[in-house]
Amino acid sequence: MIDLHTHTVFSDGVLIPSELVRRAEFIGLKGIGITDHGDFSNIDFIVPRIVAIAEKLNSVLSIKVVPGIEITHVPPVLISDAAKKARSLGAKIIIVHGETIAEPVAPGTNNAAIEADIDILAHPGLISEEEVLKAKENGIFLEISARKGHSLTNGYVAKLAGKTGAKLVINTDAHAPEDLIDEKMAKKIVCGAGLTENDYDIMQKNASLFIR
């Protein structure tokens, strides 16, 4: 299992990076992205610290730690600039907090994210088919989420991805130890979205691009 979307005390998570990574390693994860919530107020604080701890941990652990950021509730017109800033600071994976139905995300966030230099559009909610096609064209992965609330539209996202050929990943959006899942649970969540275990395997191949 590779989980590319998690949070630590650098935003609203409860664990320091080393403990999060250890707990992920313990349940069998092969890779983990640390992608704390960021905007222009904290990107320059968060990203360099995650990059630094990822380098330390990767030098001694078998699990691969990928430093990143989740651009969160940034006005759509500013998303591209935020992504460029994060990338310049060393973020290896850039996620945008999509238009989940569980939060009042600004309309236009999904489209702005898909047009920016990002890697994953998290929990994109009731994303349009046109936007899904654009994500496919731009090589941006859509997220199937294990997180409460955000997961409510997994089936919808999976259906559109299947129709258009857009690529998916499954992530936990973990904020606490109990949010982490193993491969067995990840497969259940994928199947619960109307997909198959073969689709899960494809998602893991997609995620493995970030841990090479």
Domains in the chain, number: 1
Q: Which amino acid is at 3?
A: D
State residue 5's pLDDT score.
98
State residue 143's pLDDT score.
98
Q: Which amino acid is at 117?
A: D
State residue 104's pLDDT score.
98
Q: Kindly report the pTM of this predicted structure.
A: 0.98
- The pLDDT tens digits of the residues spanning 86-123 come to 999 999 999 999 999 999 999 999 999 999 999 999 99
State residue 191's pLDDT score.
98
Which residues of the chain are under the pLDDT cut of 70?
none
State residue 212's pLDDT score.
82
- Closest C-alpha to 134, from 160, 154, 152: 160
Contact 124, 104 (CB under 8 A): no
CATH number of residue 181's parent domain: 3.20.20.140
Place of tokens 């349940």: 27
Distance (Å, rounded) from C-alpha 49 to C-alpha 190?
32
Print the domain residue range for 51: 2-208
